[in-house]
Chain A
Amino acid sequence: MFLEQLHLRHFRNYEDQPIAFTAPKTILVGDNAQGKSNVLEAVELLATLRSHRGGRDRDLVQTDHSESIITARLRRLSGDTKLAMTLRNSGRRTVAINGETQKRQLDFLGVINAVQFSSLDLDLVRGGPGERRRWLDVLLVQLEPVYAHILQQYQTVLKQRNALLKQRRSHLTNPGTTAPIDPTQLALWDAQLATAGTRVIRRRARAIARLAPIAQQWHHNISGQQEILELRYASNVAVESAAQDDAGVIQQAFLHQIKEKAIAEQYQGTSLVGPHRDEIEFLINQTPARQYGSQGQQRTLVLALKLAELILIESVISEPPLLLLDDVLAELDLKRQNQLLETIQDRFQTLITATHLGAFDAQWVQSAQILTVKAGQLHQA
């Protein structure tokens, strides 16, 4: 797929900025805090409906304005598509495909596919399990947009059940002031949590199973054939790996584990069983990369993951997705840079941010479209 045009209106520090992409690689170059990453963030929002920077929509809208509009024209094998997204200070979003407003945001997902690789991703190995779950969830939404709905349902059930557990705890510690909760109601939330959670677990297990061999291959290539990377989905609801796709088995195990942790849940007043406590383990030569990997090893690992994401998305949607490289090339040494650039070649449209062009291969810079960014304005160099 090829993003031909992007237009930012009142988005972050952009007043009214049309951008035409003319080459498979575009380098946005400029000092810090000029608005380079904001361009990539806009594409990320169109692809995933979320920003890895987090925050509320009012932070995305330019100061002193009430709404921001991002529009894009995308060329895909199936034809050209126009996308529009309106962000408001109130938090209400509107998305439209070819001028037609979509009733559900979910229907907007999957039109643009993009893999984001920023310097923050280097924390994927060292950071907490929450970071890895978020990474996997974003990938899953790209592979199967309906996952966004499944995940959201699980999160709603989880919030409701936690609220109920909290009520129960305050009743137990202070029986005079609050009413006891109905055990029938709790049992129903248990069942709902298990049903919704099982859907999340199955999809996550499936995604890791598909990603793992590709990541392993890449890692093997980049590390010079010495190391073996393993990705392991360590679900909080443990079932044998053979049963990881059996909804009945997972649901049973889920409910069983809730029963076992009933007392702990009672004291802590929160849900202790479910995919919100999943872990994804990265092992290099059978030792956890998080504890034992050197910084170089961890970088190789993240690069392998990102390349695997690209290839997996490409194989699922039968078209190369976009690649967004946010301030990350400078963090990779020449060998890893080359590995990355060799893989993407001209197949994947790539948007790159950098503070200067010095770190790039000269030949490579020549074939790229260079845009300079200064105080929310873009100029063709």
Chain B
Amino acid sequence: MSRLIEQFQRLPGVGPKTAQRLALHILKRPEAEVQALAQALLDAKQQVGVCSRCFHLSAEPVCEICRNPGRDRSTICVVADSRDVIALEKTREYKGLYHVLGGLVSPMDGIGPEQLNISPLVRRVNQEKTEEVILAISPSVEGETTTLYIGQLLKPFTRVTRIAFGLPMGGDLEYADEVTLARAMEGRQELD
């Protein structure tokens, strides 16, 4: 029992109380259900790898998005993590392809550009006749450096854009903080 609790506690966002609750819940379920859960965990770990083109999580060598003939192959949206692909997919707004970097440049954590999937991105842009690369990376200090780095690298080959940062939808201007407002000001656009 304590082994199970300890294992749950290692999961992100799970504290000692939640871990205990989850463990008790597992013990109350029928064995078949627990079996199915364990199998699902193992299957996911063994079968899900990354797409050889865009590095998004995928059970196949090439992921569903990259295989989909309906997607616009002339744009690549660059994100830090597979989680960002999932978030962007939920919008159903974007019809192009993705490229997952697998992190952000952070010397403190020993992550330089060479530890990220940046050279495969450069190769892709050169081979796939990409017309636009959209950088969708969080505006943190590390995200900013990563964005600028990739921007410099790809500018000679294609059009590079970055997503806008600013006011959240439904947010009132007067309640926005100074940092967000300054960002929104910087990213202002011509009214058409």
Contacts and interface: CB of A to CB of B under 8 A. Distances in A.
Interface in A152-188: 153, 156-157, 159-161, 163-164, 167, 179, 181-182, 184-185, 188
Nearest to A159: B108
A185 B179 CA distance: 25
Interface string B48-83: 000000000000000000000000000000000000
Interface residues of A, number: 24
Nearest to A181: B112
Interface in A170-226: 179, 181-182, 184-185, 188-189, 191-192, 196
Contact of B145 (A146, A153, A192): A192
Contacts of B152: 184, 188
Interface string B127-158: 00000000000001110110011001100000
A160 B142 contact: yes
Quick one: which of B107, B110, B140, B153 has the most chain A CB within 10 A? B107
A181 B114 CA distance: 10
Interface string B96-133: 00000000011110101110000000000000000000
B178 A146 contact: yes
A192 to B, nearest CB: 6
A302 interface: no
Contacts of A182: 112-114
Given A146-B179, A160-B142, A185 B149 contact: yes
A167 B110 CA distance: 9
A149 interface: yes
Contacts of B112: 179, 181-182, 185
B172 interface: no
A107 interface: yes
B74 to A, nearest CB: 27
A223 B107 CA distance: 51
A167 B177 CA distance: 37
Nearest to B147: A188
Interface residues of B, number: 20
A149 to B, nearest CB: 5
A146 B179 CA distance: 7
A167 B141 contact: no
Interface string A86-119: 0000000000000000001011000000000000
Interface of B is mostly: helix
A307 B110 CA distance: 47
Contacts of B153: 184
Given A185-B149, A188-B148, A192-B145, A160 B107 contact: yes
Interface string A131-156: 00000000000000010010001001
Quick one: which of A160, A163, A167 has the most chain B CB within 10 A? A160
B142 A179 contact: no
A150 B82 CA distance: 29
A185 B107 CA distance: 10
Nearest to B144: A192
B113 A163 contact: no
A297 B90 CA distance: 66
A181 B110 CA distance: 11
Contacts of B142: 156, 160
B141 A153 contact: yes
A189 B145 contact: yes
Interface of B: 105-108, 110, 112-114, 140-142, 144-145, 148-149, 152-153, 177-179
25 contacts: A106-B179, A107-B177, A146-B177, A149-B179, A156-B141, A157-B141, A159-B108, A160-B107, A160-B108, A160-B141, A160-B142, A161-B107, A164-B107, A179-B114, A182-B112, A182-B113, A182-B114, A184-B153, A185-B112, A185-B113, A185-B145, A188-B149, A188-B152, A189-B107, A192-B145
Question: Which A-B residue pairs are the 6 nearest by beta carbons?
Answer: A163-B107, A164-B107, A146-B178, A163-B108, A156-B141, A188-B145
Given A163-B107, A188-B145, 6 more contacts: A160-B141, A161-B107, A179-B112, A179-B114, A181-B112, A192-B145
